[in-house]
């Protein structure tokens, strides 16, 4: 029977099967007529073998098995659309008055090549066999519409509803440091043939494991915060919690009509209700939320080596990169001292001010060579900056005498004016373009200095110096380094030297940026008689550690908040006059780590000091020769200089074991008598006499 049916041609389907009404989703299809007598054989066997599967599929709302096997996937509730798609492939009747169901009989007269007969019959049979179509399955809600939310709800409303159902979202940074961390290769500086920059392996490695706040405990604190705020008439929902090394920030969306000023004045009340210090950021910059910074149960230490080894810091292509710490979400926070360009660092005793200075200096020393960076340090307390003494980057030993410190600051003003004259002669505007011009001049790509211009410079002491008038030709141009002036305990310097120091600092802050000279002032007494309006207006970057009174915070940052800090490196940073203040945890660096880095630098070579820096510029009288000639070591010094062909104050100090002031006076007398040449910047003086 299979052979006979296979050899028999397949007739066209009966017209009655094509005149069945089109299936609709609203009502069941009419019962199809009986199949034609020719449709027997293999068709009957296939139907009888699969009728039960098709009925089960139809009852379950699935597409019939044959239709699925033939590639016609009919989704539940979509049978009518599938039939429409099939019928749309058939040509429409030319007679517009002919009903649609009669026009669909055209395939009986169509050439078989237009459509495979087997596929056509399968689809027709499925339509004819169709049972009442089940009700369409309702589509699931769109992903943006959560249960209980309206389609037009705002983002804040959706966040509040989500927080009410799921609780606040806890955002934590993975503080586990990557291990092992390969230290970056040390860079050999070509200008200093044997100089090697210190590597981060000189610092302590970060801990292998760190503490992380419990998310459930943070959500419980968020509920407690909402409860305490409600007691003071402030309603809202905490939607996000950001954890950092020292504090966690709870972001709250307040209820409509809440006054920000009312919330901002609740810091003391919240501290009482929550039993901890609270800093309120109302509102958070760039958001319509209020931030509440609460201390963590356990602080996460910030490691300096980890921040220096970060690829972002290694790739930071700025003149003076410095490490600041980690912000309230745990992200590294760096700065560029050349763009700050001057910084005031203030904080009470034990708040972390000295450690913050050490972090900035160590990060600079690890990225810049003595040719690129020179330091001028003033330390009235004698011991704070002592570990940096005799490193190659110093212009002169760490200054501990306040009179010499005032002279050094006046020298810095004169150096600033000299650099601007160099820029004018070269036709450049700042240190970066000048050093680029020097490189091109050394390669012969540009000519030397332009004709000397006649100008006048007003010195700190009020005198006027004519610059560029009838003088010898300028020497070959050389690149100049950046100079960073660090003054610790600025209050002590102001008390002893007064207006002269303030005037010098103000002039440097106003003009020294383009000359590549930058000032860092540190004080633990940020009162208005120390940080005067003149100084404050010219220092756009401020770093505030914990202070005692809110008035001190206003003096430094122009806003309250520093009195609420937790100490031990917890600080507020406002860089380059930014309107928003960022809370940062400063990394901790031990004295042993600082000493190790400085010892490594001292092993690279002895510093070359410029003894003219501390010369008294108010007294133009020549040094008294008698004092030096009566010095029992004067003749010995002249003999040593003549034999070794070297002369500098620091060299005589080491060679003869003299003090700095005594050695400097001897060198000045030798210069006047023609034994040695004048000071030549950071280079040694020329010896003008023959060996004795």
> Is there a contact between 219 and 170 (Cβ–Cβ < 8 Å)?
yes
| Pair (308, 170) in one structural domain | no
Q: How confident is the model at residue 253 (pLDDT cuts 50, 70, 90)?
A: very high
Q: Which residues of 382-401 are buried (b: 16+ CB within 10 A; e: fewer)?
A: eebbebbebbbbbbbbbbbb
Residues 287 and 352 in one domain: no
pLDDT > 70 in the chain, percent: 67
- Poorest-confidence range of 359-368, 383-392, 543-552, 637-646? 637-646
Same domain, 290 and 309: no
**576 Rama class: left (phi>0) / alpha (psi -120 to 50) / beta:** left
pLDDT tens readout for residues 83-118: 344 444 444 444 444 444 444 444 444 444 444 544
Are the C-beta atoms of residues 324 and 584 closer than 8 Å to each other? yes
Strands 570-574 and 541-544: antiparallel
CATH number at residue 239: 3.30.980.40
Q: Is residue 417 part of a domain?
A: no
SS3 14: coil
- Kindly report, residue by residue over 134-164, the tens digit of the pLDDT: 445 454 444 444 444 444 457 777 777 777 7
- pLDDT surpassing 90 at residue 515: yes
Write down the pLDDT at residue 668: 84
Q: What is the pTM of this model?
A: 0.64
- Is residue 422 predicted with pLDDT exceeding 80? yes
Q: Which domain range does residue 106 map to? A: 2-128
* Residue of 649 and 567 predicted with greater confidence: 567
Phi, psi of 660 (to 5 degrees): -65, -50
Place of tokens 């690149």: 479
Residue 450 lies in a domain: no
Quick one: residue 330, left, alpha or beta (phi over 0 = left, psi -120 to 50 = alpha)?
A: left
User: What's the CATH number where 374 sits?
Assistant: 3.40.50.300
Which H or E element spans position 335?
Answer: strand 332-336
* Average pLDDT estimate for 114-126: 49
Same domain? 27 vs 120: yes
Do residues 635 and 588 share a domain?
no
Q: Is the dihedral of CA 563, 567, 570, 575 positive or negative?
A: positive
Domain co-membership, 86 together with 230: no
Alpha-carbon gap, residue 493 to 483, rounded angstroms: 20
Residue 646 pLDDT class (50, 70, 90 cuts): confident
How many domains does one find in the chain? 4
Looking at the structure, do residues 276 and 313 belong to the same domain, yes or no? no
Tokens of 341: 């360009």
* 393: its two tokens: 């980057």
Would you say residue 57 lies in a domain? yes
In a domain, residue 649? The reply is yes
Task: Give a yes or no: residue 80 inside a domain.
Answer: yes
**Positive or negative: CA dihedral 83, 84, 85, 88:** positive
27-31, 236-240, 457-461: which range is least confident on average? Answer: 27-31
Pair 230, 345 in one domain: no
DSSP 85: H
Distance between CA atoms of 75 and 59, rounded to whole angstroms?
13
Domain-terminating residue out of 269, 295, 321? 295
The overall average pLDDT reported for the chain is: 75
pLDDT at 410 over 60: yes
Neighbouring CB atoms inside 10 A of 611's CB total 22
pLDDT digits (tens, 9 = 90+) for 295-338: 998 888 899 999 999 999 999 999 999 999 999 888 999 999 99
pLDDT of 192 strictly over 80: no
CA torsion 593-598-604-605 (nearest 10°) is -160
Same domain, 587 and 625: no
321 and 360 share one domain: yes
Q: How far apart are the first and last CA of the chain?
A: 133
Query: Same domain, yes or no, for 289 and 309?
Result: no
- CB of 346 closer than 8 Å to CB of 523: yes
Contact status, residue 570 vs residue 358, Cβ threshold 8 Å = no
- Any domain includes 471: no
- Same domain for 598 and 625, yes or no, is no
Q: pLDDT (tens digit, 9 = 90+) per residue, 58-73?
A: 444 444 444 444 444 4
Tell me how far apart the alpha carbons of residues 521 and 534 are, in angstroms, rounded to a whole number. 14
């Amino acid at each position: 029977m299979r052979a006979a049916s296979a050899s028999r041609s397949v007739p066209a389907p009966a017209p009655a099967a094509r005149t069945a009404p089109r299936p609709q989703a609203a009502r069941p299809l009419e019962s199809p007529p009986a199949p034609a007598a020719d449709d027997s054989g293999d068709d009957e066997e296939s139907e009888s073998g699969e009728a039960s599967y098709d009925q089960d599929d139809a009852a379950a709302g699935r597409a019939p098995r044959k239709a699925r096997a033939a590639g016609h996937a009919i989704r539940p509730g979509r049978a009518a659309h599938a039939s429409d798609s099939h019928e749309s492939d058939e040509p429409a009747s030319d007679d517009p008055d002919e009903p649609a169901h009669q026009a669909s009989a055209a395939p009986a007269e169509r050439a078989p090549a237009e459509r495979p007969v087997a596929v056509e019959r399968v689809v027709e049979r499925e339509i004819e066999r169709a049972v009442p179509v089940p009700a369409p399955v309702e589509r699931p809600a769109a992903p943006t519409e959560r249960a209980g939310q309206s389609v037009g709800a705002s983002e804040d409303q959706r966040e509040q509803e989500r927080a009410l159902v799921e609780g606040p979202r806890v955002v934590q940074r993975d503080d586990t440091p990557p291990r092992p961390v390969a230290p970056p290769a040390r860079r050999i500086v070509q200008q200093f043939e044997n100089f090697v920059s210190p590597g981060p392996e000189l610092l302590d490695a970060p801990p292998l494991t760190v503490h992380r706040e419990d998310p459930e405990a943070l959500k419980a604190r968020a509920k407690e915060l909402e409860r305490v705020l409600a007691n003071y008439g402030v309603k809202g929902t905490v939607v996000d919690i950001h954890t950092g090394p020292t504090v966690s920030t709870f972001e709250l969306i307040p209820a409509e009509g809440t006054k920000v000023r009312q919330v901002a004045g609740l810091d003391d009340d919240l501290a009482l209700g929550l039993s901890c210090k609270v800093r309120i950021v109302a509102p958070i910059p760039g958001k319509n939320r209020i931030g509440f910074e609460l201390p963590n149960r356990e602080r996460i230490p910030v490691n300096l080596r980890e921040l220096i080894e970060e690829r972002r810091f290694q790739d930071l292509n700025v003149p003076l990169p410095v490490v600041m710490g980690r912000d309230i979400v745990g992200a590294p926070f760096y700065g560029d001292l050349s763009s700050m360009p001057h910084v005031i660092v203030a904080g009470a005793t034990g708040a972390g001010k000295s450690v913050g200075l050490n972090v900035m200096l160590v990060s600079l020393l690890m990225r810049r060579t003595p040719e690129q960076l020179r330091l001028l340090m003033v330390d009235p307390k004698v011991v704070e900056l002592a570990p940096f003494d005799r490193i190659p980057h110093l212009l002169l030993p760490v200054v501990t005498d306040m009179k010499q410190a005032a002279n050094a600051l006046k020298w810095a003003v004169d150096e600033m004016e000299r650099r601007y004259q160099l820029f004018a002669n070269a036709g450049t505007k700042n240190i970066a373009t000048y050093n680029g011009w020097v490189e091109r001049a050394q390669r012969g790509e540009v000519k030397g200095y332009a004709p000397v211009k006649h100008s006048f410079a007003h010195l700190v002491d009020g005198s006027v110096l004519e610059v560029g008038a009838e003088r010898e030709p300028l020497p070959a141009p050389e690149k100049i380094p950046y100079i960073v002036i660090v003054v610790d305990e600025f209050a002590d310097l102001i008390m002893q030297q007064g207006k002269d120091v303030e005037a010098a600092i103000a002039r440097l802050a106003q003009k020294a940026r383009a000359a590549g000279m930058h000032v860092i002032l540190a004080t633990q007494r940020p009162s208005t008689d120390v940080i005067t309006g003149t100084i404050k207006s010219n220092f756009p970057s401020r770093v505030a550690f914990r202070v005692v009174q809110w008035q001190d915070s206003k003096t430094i940052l122009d806003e309250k908040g520093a009195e609420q800090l937790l100490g031990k490196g917890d600080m507020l940073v406002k860089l380059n006059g930014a309107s928003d203040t960022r809370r940062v945890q400063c990394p901790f660096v031990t004295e042993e780590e600082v000493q190790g880095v400085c010892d490594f630098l001292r092993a690279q070579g002895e510093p070359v000091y410029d003894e003219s820096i501390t010369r008294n510029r108010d007294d133009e009288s020549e040094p008294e020769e008698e004092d030096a000639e009566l010095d029992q070591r004067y003749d010995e010094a002249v003999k040593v200089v003549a034999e070794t062909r070297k002369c500098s104050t620091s060299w005589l100090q080491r060679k003869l074991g003299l003090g700095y002031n005594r050695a400097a006076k001897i060198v000045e007398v030798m210069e006047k008598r023609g034994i040695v040449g004048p000071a030549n910047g950071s280079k040694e003086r020329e010896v003008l006499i023959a060996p004795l």
